[in-house]
Structure 1
Protein backbone atom coordinates (compact mmCIF):
# COMPACT_ATOMS: atom_id res chain seq x y z
CA UNK A 1 0.00 0.00 0.00
CA UNK A 2 1.28 3.49 -0.85
CA UNK A 3 2.01 6.28 1.66
CA UNK A 4 -0.91 8.38 0.25
CA UNK A 5 -3.33 5.56 0.84
CA UNK A 6 -2.07 5.10 4.43
CA UNK A 7 -2.41 8.86 5.09
CA UNK A 8 -5.99 8.96 3.78
CA UNK A 9 -7.00 5.99 5.91
CA UNK A 10 -5.47 7.53 9.05
CA UNK A 11 -7.25 10.86 8.43
CA UNK A 12 -10.61 9.08 8.02
CA UNK A 13 -10.15 7.19 11.25
CA UNK A 14 -9.30 10.39 13.18
CA UNK A 15 -12.41 12.22 11.89
CA UNK A 16 -14.65 9.28 12.72
CA UNK A 17 -13.12 9.10 16.19
CA UNK A 18 -13.80 12.80 16.86
CA UNK A 19 -17.47 12.44 15.85
CA UNK A 20 -17.89 9.54 18.25
CA UNK A 21 -16.21 11.49 21.09
CA UNK A 22 -18.46 14.54 20.51
CA UNK A 23 -21.61 12.41 20.56
CA UNK A 24 -20.58 10.65 23.77
CA UNK A 25 -19.72 13.93 25.54
CA UNK A 26 -23.00 15.52 24.45
CA UNK A 27 -25.01 12.51 25.59
CA UNK A 28 -23.34 12.50 29.01
CA UNK A 29 -24.03 16.22 29.48
CA UNK A 30 -27.66 15.73 28.52
CA UNK A 31 -28.14 12.84 30.97
CA UNK A 32 -26.77 14.81 33.92
CA UNK A 33 -28.65 18.07 33.32
CA UNK A 34 -31.56 19.14 35.64
CA UNK A 35 -34.03 19.46 32.86
CA UNK A 36 -37.04 17.16 33.14
CA UNK A 37 -36.55 13.97 31.46
CA UNK A 38 -37.98 14.27 28.04
CA UNK A 39 -39.52 11.52 26.19
CA UNK A 40 -36.57 9.47 25.37
CA UNK A 41 -36.09 9.16 21.78
CA UNK A 42 -33.86 6.57 20.62
CA UNK A 43 -31.16 8.25 18.82
CA UNK A 44 -29.40 6.07 16.47
CA UNK A 45 -25.80 6.63 16.53
CA UNK A 46 -24.55 7.30 13.15
CA UNK A 47 -22.84 4.35 11.72
CA UNK A 48 -19.26 5.10 11.37
CA UNK A 49 -18.42 3.69 8.11
CA UNK A 50 -15.11 2.13 8.35
CA UNK A 51 -13.08 2.81 5.35
CA UNK A 52 -13.06 -0.28 3.31
CA UNK A 53 -9.76 -1.84 2.72
CA UNK A 54 -8.70 -1.14 -0.79
CA UNK A 55 -8.64 -4.19 -2.93
CA UNK A 56 -5.18 -5.49 -3.17
CA UNK A 57 -3.60 -4.72 -6.44
CA UNK A 58 -3.40 -7.75 -8.62
CA UNK A 59 -0.08 -9.43 -8.67
CA UNK A 60 1.86 -8.20 -11.64
CA UNK A 61 2.07 -10.67 -14.39
CA UNK A 62 5.42 -12.33 -14.43
CA UNK A 63 7.72 -10.81 -16.92
CA UNK A 64 8.50 -13.17 -19.70
CA UNK A 65 12.12 -13.60 -20.54
CA UNK A 66 12.66 -12.03 -23.90
CA UNK A 67 13.42 -14.45 -26.63
CA UNK A 68 17.16 -14.60 -27.13
CA UNK A 69 18.16 -12.72 -30.19
CA UNK A 70 20.65 -14.60 -32.24
CA UNK A 71 23.51 -12.38 -33.20
CA UNK A 72 24.10 -12.70 -36.87
CA UNK A 73 27.80 -12.61 -37.50
CA UNK A 74 28.76 -10.57 -40.50
CA UNK A 75 29.94 -12.76 -43.33
CA UNK A 76 33.66 -13.27 -43.24
CA UNK A 77 35.35 -12.07 -46.32
CA UNK A 78 38.22 -14.20 -47.44
CA UNK A 79 41.29 -12.12 -48.23
CA UNK A 80 41.91 -12.02 -51.90
CA UNK A 81 44.94 -14.07 -52.89
CA UNK A 82 47.93 -12.07 -53.90
CA UNK A 83 48.28 -11.96 -57.65
CA UNK A 84 50.89 -14.26 -59.11
CA UNK A 85 54.04 -12.34 -60.00
CA UNK A 86 54.51 -11.75 -63.68
CA UNK A 87 57.39 -13.85 -64.89
CA UNK A 88 59.54 -13.09 -67.91
CA UNK A 89 59.87 -15.57 -70.78
CA UNK A 90 62.17 -18.47 -69.98
CA UNK A 91 64.91 -17.29 -72.34
CA UNK A 92 64.91 -13.83 -70.69
CA UNK A 93 64.63 -14.94 -67.08
CA UNK A 94 68.26 -15.02 -65.89
CA UNK A 95 68.76 -11.31 -65.23
CA UNK A 96 65.38 -11.02 -63.49
CA UNK A 97 66.08 -14.12 -61.39
CA UNK A 98 69.51 -12.89 -60.31
CA UNK A 99 68.02 -9.50 -59.40
CA UNK A 100 65.39 -11.21 -57.24
CA UNK A 101 68.09 -13.31 -55.57
CA UNK A 102 70.08 -10.17 -54.79
CA UNK A 103 66.96 -8.59 -53.31
CA UNK A 104 66.75 -11.61 -51.00
CA UNK A 105 70.40 -10.93 -50.05
CA UNK A 106 71.60 -14.07 -51.80
CA UNK A 107 75.16 -13.80 -53.11
CA UNK A 108 75.07 -14.46 -56.84
CA UNK A 109 78.65 -13.62 -57.87
CA UNK A 110 79.75 -17.29 -58.22
CA UNK A 111 76.91 -17.97 -60.68
CA UNK A 112 78.41 -18.34 -64.16
CA UNK A 113 75.43 -19.56 -66.19
CA UNK A 114 73.64 -17.20 -68.56
CA UNK A 115 70.61 -19.51 -68.67
CA UNK A 116 70.26 -20.29 -64.99
CA UNK A 117 66.84 -21.95 -64.99
CA UNK A 118 67.46 -24.09 -68.08
CA UNK A 119 70.95 -25.12 -66.92
CA UNK A 120 69.67 -25.81 -63.41
CA UNK A 121 66.98 -28.14 -64.72
CA UNK A 122 69.52 -30.00 -66.90
CA UNK A 123 71.88 -30.26 -63.90
CA UNK A 124 69.09 -31.64 -61.68
CA UNK A 125 68.01 -34.17 -64.28
CA UNK A 126 71.59 -35.41 -64.66
CA UNK A 127 72.25 -35.38 -60.92
CA UNK A 128 69.23 -37.52 -60.10
CA UNK A 129 70.73 -40.07 -62.51
CA UNK A 130 74.17 -39.72 -60.92
CA UNK A 131 75.63 -37.83 -63.89
CA UNK A 132 77.40 -34.50 -64.11
CA UNK A 133 77.95 -32.45 -67.26
CA UNK A 134 80.79 -29.96 -66.99
CA UNK A 135 79.47 -27.86 -69.85
CA UNK A 136 76.33 -27.12 -67.82
CA UNK A 137 78.16 -25.83 -64.76
CA UNK A 138 76.11 -23.31 -62.82
CA UNK A 139 78.99 -21.77 -60.89
CA UNK A 140 82.48 -20.72 -61.85
CA UNK A 141 85.11 -23.42 -61.89
CA UNK A 142 87.56 -23.33 -58.98
CA UNK A 143 91.02 -21.94 -59.51
CA UNK A 144 94.01 -24.24 -59.39
CA UNK A 145 94.55 -27.77 -60.57
CA UNK A 146 93.91 -31.19 -59.13
CA UNK A 147 97.18 -32.54 -57.75
CA UNK A 148 98.50 -35.71 -56.18
CA UNK A 149 101.41 -36.62 -53.96
CA UNK A 150 103.47 -39.80 -53.95
CA UNK A 151 104.21 -41.71 -50.75
CA UNK A 152 105.77 -45.17 -50.59
CA UNK A 153 105.31 -45.61 -54.33
CA UNK A 154 101.59 -44.87 -53.99
CA UNK A 155 99.65 -41.87 -55.22
CA UNK A 156 97.28 -39.92 -52.98
CA UNK A 157 95.13 -36.86 -53.51
CA UNK A 158 97.03 -33.83 -52.30
CA UNK A 159 94.78 -32.44 -49.56
CA UNK A 160 95.77 -28.93 -50.63
CA UNK A 161 93.71 -29.62 -53.76
CA UNK A 162 90.58 -29.46 -51.59
CA UNK A 163 91.27 -25.83 -50.72
CA UNK A 164 90.30 -24.67 -54.20
CA UNK A 165 86.71 -25.71 -53.39
CA UNK A 166 86.58 -23.78 -50.11
CA UNK A 167 85.03 -20.67 -51.68
CA UNK A 168 82.30 -22.65 -53.44
CA UNK A 169 81.52 -24.66 -50.29
CA UNK A 170 81.41 -21.53 -48.14
CA UNK A 171 79.08 -19.88 -50.66
CA UNK A 172 76.75 -22.90 -50.66
CA UNK A 173 76.65 -22.94 -46.87
CA UNK A 174 75.88 -19.20 -46.74
CA UNK A 175 72.74 -19.57 -48.87
CA UNK A 176 69.53 -18.88 -46.96
CA UNK A 177 67.22 -21.86 -47.33
CA UNK A 178 64.03 -19.83 -46.81
CA UNK A 179 65.07 -17.28 -49.43
CA UNK A 180 65.93 -20.06 -51.88
CA UNK A 181 62.56 -21.72 -51.35
CA UNK A 182 60.72 -18.43 -51.86
CA UNK A 183 62.52 -17.88 -55.16
CA UNK A 184 61.97 -21.52 -56.07
CA UNK A 185 58.21 -21.22 -55.55
CA UNK A 186 58.07 -17.97 -57.53
CA UNK A 187 59.92 -19.39 -60.52
CA UNK A 188 58.45 -22.88 -60.40
CA UNK A 189 56.31 -22.29 -63.54
CA UNK A 190 59.49 -21.52 -65.51
CA UNK A 191 61.24 -24.53 -63.97
CA UNK A 192 58.35 -26.70 -65.18
CA UNK A 193 58.59 -25.15 -68.64
CA UNK A 194 62.33 -25.83 -68.78
CA UNK A 195 61.81 -29.39 -67.55
CA UNK A 196 59.21 -29.88 -70.24
CA UNK A 197 61.66 -28.68 -72.89
CA UNK A 198 64.06 -31.54 -72.07
CA UNK A 199 61.35 -34.16 -72.32
CA UNK A 200 59.41 -34.10 -69.03
CA UNK A 201 56.32 -31.95 -69.65
CA UNK A 202 54.18 -33.62 -66.99
CA UNK A 203 56.87 -34.54 -64.45
CA UNK A 204 56.87 -33.41 -60.81
CA UNK A 205 59.68 -30.87 -60.60
CA UNK A 206 59.72 -31.06 -56.78
CA UNK A 207 60.29 -34.81 -56.94
CA UNK A 208 63.11 -34.33 -59.45
CA UNK A 209 64.94 -31.92 -57.13
CA UNK A 210 64.51 -34.26 -54.16
CA UNK A 211 65.79 -37.23 -56.17
CA UNK A 212 68.89 -35.26 -57.21
CA UNK A 213 69.56 -34.20 -53.62
CA UNK A 214 69.17 -37.80 -52.40
CA UNK A 215 71.81 -38.99 -54.87
CA UNK A 216 74.31 -36.41 -53.59
CA UNK A 217 73.47 -37.15 -49.94
CA UNK A 218 74.24 -40.83 -50.56
CA UNK A 219 77.89 -39.97 -51.25
CA UNK A 220 80.18 -41.70 -48.73
CA UNK A 221 82.50 -39.31 -46.92
CA UNK A 222 86.10 -40.40 -46.62
CA UNK A 223 88.41 -39.02 -43.96
CA UNK A 224 92.14 -39.10 -44.37
CA UNK A 225 94.24 -39.69 -47.45
CA UNK A 226 92.52 -41.09 -50.54
CA UNK A 227 94.64 -43.27 -52.79
CA UNK A 228 94.36 -42.86 -56.56
CA UNK A 229 95.89 -44.47 -59.62
CA UNK A 230 97.21 -42.87 -62.78
CA UNK A 231 95.87 -44.58 -65.88
CA UNK A 232 97.65 -42.05 -68.14
CA UNK A 233 94.35 -40.43 -69.17
CA UNK A 234 92.99 -39.47 -65.77
CA UNK A 235 93.30 -40.36 -62.13
CA UNK A 236 90.99 -43.05 -60.78
CA UNK A 237 90.24 -44.13 -57.23
CA UNK A 238 92.27 -47.10 -56.07
CA UNK A 239 89.36 -48.26 -53.90
CA UNK A 240 86.96 -50.10 -56.27
CA UNK A 241 83.91 -49.03 -54.19
CA UNK A 242 84.82 -45.38 -54.66
CA UNK A 243 85.61 -45.81 -58.34
CA UNK A 244 82.17 -47.39 -58.83
CA UNK A 245 80.39 -44.30 -57.48
CA UNK A 246 78.31 -42.17 -59.87
CA UNK A 247 80.21 -39.21 -61.38
CA UNK A 248 78.43 -36.60 -59.28
CA UNK A 249 79.38 -38.42 -56.07
CA UNK A 250 83.00 -38.63 -57.20
CA UNK A 251 82.94 -34.89 -57.76
CA UNK A 252 81.77 -34.32 -54.19
CA UNK A 253 84.65 -36.48 -52.91
CA UNK A 254 87.11 -34.23 -54.78
CA UNK A 255 85.94 -31.33 -52.62
CA UNK A 256 87.44 -32.97 -49.55
CA UNK A 257 85.86 -34.26 -46.37
CA UNK A 258 85.26 -30.87 -44.68
CA UNK A 259 83.74 -29.16 -47.72
CA UNK A 260 81.63 -32.18 -48.67
CA UNK A 261 80.27 -32.39 -45.11
CA UNK A 262 79.15 -28.75 -45.20
CA UNK A 263 77.51 -29.11 -48.60
CA UNK A 264 75.62 -32.22 -47.51
CA UNK A 265 74.33 -30.47 -44.39
CA UNK A 266 72.95 -27.61 -46.46
CA UNK A 267 71.38 -29.99 -48.98
CA UNK A 268 69.80 -31.98 -46.16
CA UNK A 269 68.15 -28.82 -44.79
CA UNK A 270 66.96 -27.86 -48.27
CA UNK A 271 65.54 -31.32 -48.87
CA UNK A 272 63.58 -31.21 -45.60
CA UNK A 273 61.95 -27.91 -46.56
CA UNK A 274 61.18 -29.11 -50.09
CA UNK A 275 59.53 -32.27 -48.77
CA UNK A 276 57.42 -30.34 -46.24
CA UNK A 277 56.12 -27.60 -48.51
Structure 2
Protein backbone atom coordinates (compact mmCIF):
# COMPACT_ATOMS: atom_id res chain seq x y z
CA UNK A 1 0.00 0.00 0.00
CA UNK A 2 1.73 3.15 -1.24
CA UNK A 3 -0.48 5.46 0.83
CA UNK A 4 0.39 3.53 4.00
CA UNK A 5 4.09 3.91 3.20
CA UNK A 6 3.65 7.69 3.06
CA UNK A 7 2.00 7.71 6.47
CA UNK A 8 4.70 5.38 7.83
CA UNK A 9 7.45 7.70 6.59
CA UNK A 10 5.81 10.67 8.33
CA UNK A 11 5.43 8.74 11.56
CA UNK A 12 9.06 7.61 11.53
CA UNK A 13 10.08 11.27 11.26
CA UNK A 14 7.69 12.25 14.07
CA UNK A 15 9.09 9.53 16.35
CA UNK A 16 12.72 10.27 15.53
CA UNK A 17 12.12 13.95 16.29
CA UNK A 18 10.37 13.06 19.57
CA UNK A 19 13.40 11.02 20.65
CA UNK A 20 15.96 13.71 19.80
CA UNK A 21 15.77 15.21 23.28
CA UNK A 22 16.44 12.01 25.21
CA UNK A 23 19.12 12.61 27.87
CA UNK A 24 22.60 11.54 26.81
CA UNK A 25 23.06 9.45 29.95
CA UNK A 26 22.64 6.66 30.63
CA UNK A 27 23.58 5.93 27.03
CA UNK A 28 22.44 2.29 27.13
CA UNK A 29 18.90 3.37 28.07
CA UNK A 30 18.82 5.89 25.23
CA UNK A 31 20.04 3.23 22.78
CA UNK A 32 17.48 0.71 24.01
CA UNK A 33 14.60 3.20 23.71
CA UNK A 34 15.56 4.07 20.15
CA UNK A 35 16.09 0.38 19.31
CA UNK A 36 12.60 -0.52 20.53
CA UNK A 37 10.83 2.47 18.99
CA UNK A 38 12.51 3.12 15.64
CA UNK A 39 12.32 -0.47 14.43
CA UNK A 40 10.17 -0.19 11.31
CA UNK A 41 6.84 -1.27 12.75
CA UNK A 42 3.72 -1.22 10.61
CA UNK A 43 2.60 2.01 12.36
CA UNK A 44 -1.03 1.15 11.63
CA UNK A 45 -2.46 2.88 14.70
CA UNK A 46 -0.87 6.30 14.12
CA UNK A 47 -1.60 5.99 10.38
CA UNK A 48 -5.28 5.58 11.19
CA UNK A 49 -5.04 8.55 13.56
CA UNK A 50 -3.56 10.79 10.86
CA UNK A 51 -6.13 9.65 8.28
CA UNK A 52 -9.06 10.30 10.61
CA UNK A 53 -7.55 13.70 11.39
CA UNK A 54 -7.59 14.48 7.68
CA UNK A 55 -11.24 13.45 7.39
CA UNK A 56 -12.11 15.80 10.24
CA UNK A 57 -9.90 18.53 8.71
CA UNK A 58 -7.43 18.77 11.59
CA UNK A 59 -4.06 20.35 10.75
CA UNK A 60 -1.23 17.82 10.64
CA UNK A 61 0.91 19.80 13.10
CA UNK A 62 -1.86 19.17 15.66
CA UNK A 63 -1.79 15.42 14.99
CA UNK A 64 1.92 14.59 15.21
CA UNK A 65 1.99 14.61 19.04
CA UNK A 66 -0.97 12.23 19.53
CA UNK A 67 0.37 10.01 16.72
CA UNK A 68 3.74 9.76 18.51
CA UNK A 69 2.13 9.23 21.89
CA UNK A 70 -0.11 6.44 20.61
CA UNK A 71 2.76 4.61 18.92
CA UNK A 72 5.00 4.97 21.97
CA UNK A 73 2.30 3.32 24.09
CA UNK A 74 2.03 0.53 21.54
CA UNK A 75 5.83 0.08 21.46
CA UNK A 76 5.98 -0.04 25.26
CA UNK A 77 3.28 -2.72 25.28
CA UNK A 78 5.33 -4.85 22.87
CA UNK A 79 8.54 -4.49 24.90
CA UNK A 80 6.75 -5.64 28.05
CA UNK A 81 4.69 -8.28 26.22
CA UNK A 82 7.91 -9.95 25.02
CA UNK A 83 9.38 -10.24 28.53
CA UNK A 84 9.95 -13.72 30.03
CA UNK A 85 7.20 -13.11 32.62
CA UNK A 86 4.70 -12.34 29.86
CA UNK A 87 4.82 -13.93 26.37
CA UNK A 88 8.57 -14.70 26.59
CA UNK A 89 9.50 -14.05 22.97
CA UNK A 90 12.96 -13.65 21.46
CA UNK A 91 11.95 -11.97 18.18
CA UNK A 92 10.03 -8.80 17.38
CA UNK A 93 9.75 -7.39 13.86
CA UNK A 94 12.50 -9.77 12.75
CA UNK A 95 15.03 -8.57 15.35
CA UNK A 96 15.97 -9.72 18.85
CA UNK A 97 13.50 -8.39 21.38
CA UNK A 98 14.62 -5.63 23.72
CA UNK A 99 15.41 -7.90 26.67
CA UNK A 100 17.50 -10.13 24.40
CA UNK A 101 19.35 -7.25 22.68
CA UNK A 102 19.99 -5.52 26.02
CA UNK A 103 18.76 -7.22 29.21
CA UNK A 104 15.53 -7.84 31.07
CA UNK A 105 15.86 -4.98 33.57
CA UNK A 106 16.64 -2.49 30.80
CA UNK A 107 13.64 -3.71 28.81
CA UNK A 108 11.35 -3.04 31.78
CA UNK A 109 12.75 0.47 32.07
CA UNK A 110 12.44 1.06 28.32
CA UNK A 111 8.72 0.27 28.48
CA UNK A 112 8.34 2.56 31.49
CA UNK A 113 10.17 5.33 29.63
CA UNK A 114 8.13 4.94 26.44
CA UNK A 115 4.89 5.08 28.39
CA UNK A 116 5.76 8.20 30.38
CA UNK A 117 7.26 9.92 27.34
CA UNK A 118 3.96 9.43 25.49
CA UNK A 119 2.09 11.46 28.10
CA UNK A 120 4.88 14.06 28.34
CA UNK A 121 4.60 14.65 24.58
CA UNK A 122 0.84 15.16 24.83
CA UNK A 123 1.02 17.35 27.92
CA UNK A 124 3.63 19.74 26.46
CA UNK A 125 2.43 20.12 22.84
CA UNK A 126 1.61 23.82 22.61
CA UNK A 127 0.12 23.54 19.11
CA UNK A 128 -2.86 21.82 20.74
CA UNK A 129 -5.20 23.64 23.12
CA UNK A 130 -4.98 22.77 26.82
CA UNK A 131 -8.56 21.47 26.70
CA UNK A 132 -7.79 19.06 23.87
CA UNK A 133 -4.51 17.96 25.49
CA UNK A 134 -6.41 16.96 28.61
CA UNK A 135 -8.99 15.11 26.53
CA UNK A 136 -6.25 13.24 24.65
CA UNK A 137 -4.54 12.26 27.89
CA UNK A 138 -7.87 10.97 29.18
CA UNK A 139 -8.52 8.95 26.00
CA UNK A 140 -5.06 7.44 25.89
CA UNK A 141 -4.76 6.68 29.60
CA UNK A 142 -8.16 4.95 29.62
CA UNK A 143 -7.29 2.92 26.53
CA UNK A 144 -3.85 1.89 27.81
CA UNK A 145 -4.59 1.25 31.46
CA UNK A 146 -6.84 -0.80 33.73
CA UNK A 147 -9.88 0.04 31.61
CA UNK A 148 -8.16 -1.10 28.43
CA UNK A 149 -4.94 -2.75 27.32
CA UNK A 150 -3.50 -3.61 30.75
CA UNK A 151 -6.74 -5.27 31.84
CA UNK A 152 -6.85 -7.24 28.59
CA UNK A 153 -3.28 -8.41 29.09
CA UNK A 154 -4.09 -9.65 32.59
CA UNK A 155 -7.16 -11.54 31.34
CA UNK A 156 -4.95 -13.07 28.63
CA UNK A 157 -2.41 -14.22 31.21
CA UNK A 158 -5.19 -15.64 33.39
CA UNK A 159 -6.57 -17.64 30.46
CA UNK A 160 -3.29 -19.46 29.65
CA UNK A 161 -2.96 -23.17 30.42
CA UNK A 162 -6.41 -23.44 31.99
CA UNK A 163 -8.30 -26.73 32.00
CA UNK A 164 -11.24 -25.25 30.10
CA UNK A 165 -10.87 -22.51 27.46
CA UNK A 166 -12.58 -19.21 28.10
CA UNK A 167 -15.87 -18.57 26.31
CA UNK A 168 -16.17 -16.74 23.01
CA UNK A 169 -17.73 -13.72 24.75
CA UNK A 170 -14.86 -13.66 27.24
CA UNK A 171 -12.34 -13.87 24.39
CA UNK A 172 -14.02 -10.95 22.63
CA UNK A 173 -13.88 -8.91 25.84
CA UNK A 174 -10.20 -9.81 26.28
CA UNK A 175 -9.28 -8.52 22.84
CA UNK A 176 -11.58 -5.48 22.89
CA UNK A 177 -9.37 -4.45 25.79
CA UNK A 178 -5.92 -5.80 24.90
CA UNK A 179 -5.88 -5.03 21.16
CA UNK A 180 -8.99 -3.05 20.36
CA UNK A 181 -8.72 -0.30 22.97
CA UNK A 182 -5.63 1.30 21.42
CA UNK A 183 -7.03 0.97 17.90
CA UNK A 184 -10.23 2.67 19.03
CA UNK A 185 -8.06 5.35 20.65
CA UNK A 186 -6.47 6.06 17.26
CA UNK A 187 -9.84 7.16 15.88
CA UNK A 188 -10.80 9.15 18.96
CA UNK A 189 -7.43 10.92 19.21
CA UNK A 190 -7.49 11.77 15.50
CA UNK A 191 -10.93 13.37 15.65
CA UNK A 192 -11.25 14.83 19.15
CA UNK A 193 -10.11 18.33 18.12
CA UNK A 194 -13.03 18.62 15.69
CA UNK A 195 -16.26 20.42 16.56
CA UNK A 196 -18.02 17.37 15.07
CA UNK A 197 -16.31 14.93 17.46
CA UNK A 198 -19.18 14.26 19.85
CA UNK A 199 -21.60 13.84 16.94
CA UNK A 200 -19.43 11.14 15.36
CA UNK A 201 -17.93 9.59 18.48
CA UNK A 202 -20.26 6.52 18.51
CA UNK A 203 -19.38 5.81 14.86
CA UNK A 204 -15.65 6.18 15.58
CA UNK A 205 -15.91 3.84 18.58
CA UNK A 206 -17.80 1.25 16.52
CA UNK A 207 -15.22 1.55 13.74
CA UNK A 208 -12.31 1.13 16.16
CA UNK A 209 -13.85 -1.83 17.96
CA UNK A 210 -14.63 -3.66 14.72
CA UNK A 211 -11.13 -3.12 13.34
CA UNK A 212 -9.55 -4.02 16.67
CA UNK A 213 -11.30 -7.39 16.85
CA UNK A 214 -10.64 -8.11 13.16
CA UNK A 215 -6.96 -7.31 13.69
CA UNK A 216 -6.75 -9.80 16.56
CA UNK A 217 -8.65 -12.55 14.75
CA UNK A 218 -6.21 -12.22 11.85
CA UNK A 219 -3.30 -12.29 14.32
CA UNK A 220 -4.60 -15.61 15.62
CA UNK A 221 -4.99 -16.93 12.07
CA UNK A 222 -1.50 -16.00 10.87
CA UNK A 223 0.01 -17.47 14.05
CA UNK A 224 -1.19 -20.76 12.55
CA UNK A 225 -0.75 -20.17 8.82
CA UNK A 226 2.38 -18.00 8.56
CA UNK A 227 6.01 -18.72 9.50
CA UNK A 228 8.57 -17.17 11.83
CA UNK A 229 10.53 -15.41 9.06
CA UNK A 230 7.40 -13.79 7.58
CA UNK A 231 5.89 -12.92 10.96
CA UNK A 232 9.09 -11.40 12.35
CA UNK A 233 8.25 -13.14 15.63
CA UNK A 234 8.03 -16.75 16.74
CA UNK A 235 5.30 -18.64 14.89
CA UNK A 236 3.02 -20.91 16.91
CA UNK A 237 3.57 -19.12 20.23
CA UNK A 238 -0.16 -19.01 21.04
CA UNK A 239 -0.58 -22.74 20.61
CA UNK A 240 2.59 -23.46 22.58
CA UNK A 241 1.31 -21.32 25.46
CA UNK A 242 -2.12 -23.00 25.25
CA UNK A 243 -3.78 -19.61 24.75
CA UNK A 244 -7.46 -19.22 23.94
CA UNK A 245 -7.71 -18.00 20.34
CA UNK A 246 -10.50 -17.48 17.83
CA UNK A 247 -9.42 -20.43 15.62
CA UNK A 248 -9.19 -22.63 18.70
CA UNK A 249 -12.74 -21.74 19.80
CA UNK A 250 -14.40 -21.40 16.40
CA UNK A 251 -12.28 -23.48 14.06
CA UNK A 252 -10.00 -21.92 11.43
CA UNK A 253 -12.59 -21.42 8.67
CA UNK A 254 -15.24 -20.04 11.04
CA UNK A 255 -12.64 -17.65 12.48
CA UNK A 256 -11.96 -16.38 8.96
CA UNK A 257 -15.68 -15.87 8.45
CA UNK A 258 -15.93 -13.94 11.71
CA UNK A 259 -12.96 -11.78 10.67
CA UNK A 260 -14.66 -11.00 7.35
CA UNK A 261 -17.93 -10.03 9.06
CA UNK A 262 -15.99 -7.62 11.30
CA UNK A 263 -14.30 -6.12 8.25
CA UNK A 264 -17.69 -5.50 6.63
CA UNK A 265 -18.94 -3.93 9.86
CA UNK A 266 -15.93 -1.61 9.88
CA UNK A 267 -16.46 -0.63 6.23
CA UNK A 268 -20.10 0.20 6.94
CA UNK A 269 -19.09 2.40 9.88
CA UNK A 270 -16.52 4.14 7.70
CA UNK A 271 -19.24 5.14 5.22
CA UNK A 272 -20.94 7.12 7.99
CA UNK A 273 -17.99 9.49 8.47
CA UNK A 274 -18.00 12.96 6.86
CA UNK A 275 -16.37 13.63 3.48
CA UNK A 276 -13.09 15.53 3.75
CA UNK A 277 -13.77 18.09 1.04
CA UNK A 278 -11.05 20.46 2.30
CA UNK A 279 -8.06 18.17 1.77
CA UNK A 280 -9.27 16.73 -1.53
CA UNK A 281 -7.56 13.45 -0.66
CA UNK A 282 -9.36 10.14 -0.91
CA UNK A 283 -8.72 9.36 2.73
CA UNK A 284 -11.86 7.25 2.97
CA UNK A 285 -10.46 4.98 0.30
CA UNK A 286 -7.13 4.72 2.14
CA UNK A 287 -8.89 3.66 5.34
CA UNK A 288 -10.98 1.14 3.41
CA UNK A 289 -7.79 -0.30 1.90
CA UNK A 290 -6.18 -0.34 5.35
CA UNK A 291 -9.15 -2.26 6.75
CA UNK A 292 -8.79 -4.77 3.89
CA UNK A 293 -5.03 -5.00 4.52
CA UNK A 294 -5.67 -5.93 8.14
CA UNK A 295 -7.62 -8.98 6.96
CA UNK A 296 -5.08 -9.96 4.28
CA UNK A 297 -1.75 -9.38 6.04
CA UNK A 298 0.55 -12.31 6.80
CA UNK A 299 2.65 -10.63 9.49
Tell me the TM-score normalised to structure 2 length: 0.28
Structure having the higher strand fraction is 1
Structure having the higher helix fraction is 2
- Between 1 and 2, higher relative CO (CA 8 Å, sep ≥ 6) is seen in 2
Structure of greater Rg: 1
